[in-house]
Every structure is written in C-alpha cells, then in structure tokens.
Amino acid sequence: MSKSSTTEVRQAPASSKGWFVWMTGLWIVFFVLMQQGRLDDLAASIRDLPIIAEIVVWIVFFPQVLATAVWTGGWSEGLRVTLVVLFALFWTVVSIPRPKSSGRR
C-alpha cells in the first residue's frame, strides 16, 4: 500500500483527557455551589487563607476562583452571569483533548 492510501489515527494523550475531566468536574462543582448559594462562603474562605496559600489556590484553580470573584463582586447580575458562562465555555473548549501533532509536515 502506498503512504497516501493509509490513514494514521492520532489519539489525544491520556493526560489531556484527564485535564478535560478535571476542568469539567471543577465547573460542575462550581455551578453546584453557585446553585446552593455557597460561593460567598467559598470566596471568604479563599480570602482568609494565608497569602501564600491564597496565591497557590489562585494558580491551581484560576478559572474557577476568577469566576467566584466575579460572581461575588458587585456588578449587575446579567454581567456576572455572562462573564461566568464565558469563563466556563472558554476553559472547557480550551481543555478539550486534541490529538498530539506529529511534528512532521
């Protein structure tokens, strides 16, 4: 068979699938906490951490902590909902597993 008639199926690495599951799970937890009205408590808990721990939480859980900060902010509800939904969609789309490129063209 010639090279042009064979198709190479590239799979996404397992680590990217794990990342997608992790990010999706965190967004599910975020929206459950939002539904239960517990994001204010979570935001206060994060703010009350020692500064080094707070920085680590911001780095590790950046999109969700950013969404929590926006949700508990003083902006209008429409703006907060729009921003949180955009954050969730953006980070979920960015986290979708994609096949690794072969590096050859």
Q: Which of 1-15, 23-37, 88-102 is most confident?
A: 23-37
The model's pLDDT over 18-28, given as tens digits with 9 standing for 90+, comes to: 888 888 899 99
- Residue 34 falls within a domain, yes or no? no
Q: In which band, very low, low, confident or very high, does the pLDDT at 103 lie, cut at 50, 70 and 90?
A: low
- Residue 4 falls within a domain, yes or no? no
Q: Which residues fall within 8 angstroms of residue 27, CB to CB, at 6 or more apart?
A: 64, 88, 91, 92
Predicted pLDDT of residue 14: 67
Domain count, the chain: 1
Predicted pLDDT of residue 7: 60
- Residue 87 falls within a domain, yes or no? yes
Residue range of the domain that includes 73: 63-96
- Give yes or no for residue 40 having a pLDDT over 60: yes
- Give yes or no for residue 29 having a pLDDT over 70: yes
- Residue 68 falls within a domain, yes or no? yes
What is the rounded distance in angstroms from the CA atom of residue 97 to the CA atom of residue 75? 34
Give the burial string for 3-26 (b: 16+ CB within 10 Å, else e).
eeeeeeeeeeeeebeebbeebeeb
- Residue 10 falls within a domain, yes or no? no
- Residue 103 falls within a domain, yes or no? no
- Residue 80 falls within a domain, yes or no? yes
- Give yes or no for residue 13 having a pLDDT over 70: no
- Residue 105 falls within a domain, yes or no? no
**Helices 77-95 and 14-36 meet at what angle, rounded to 10?**
160
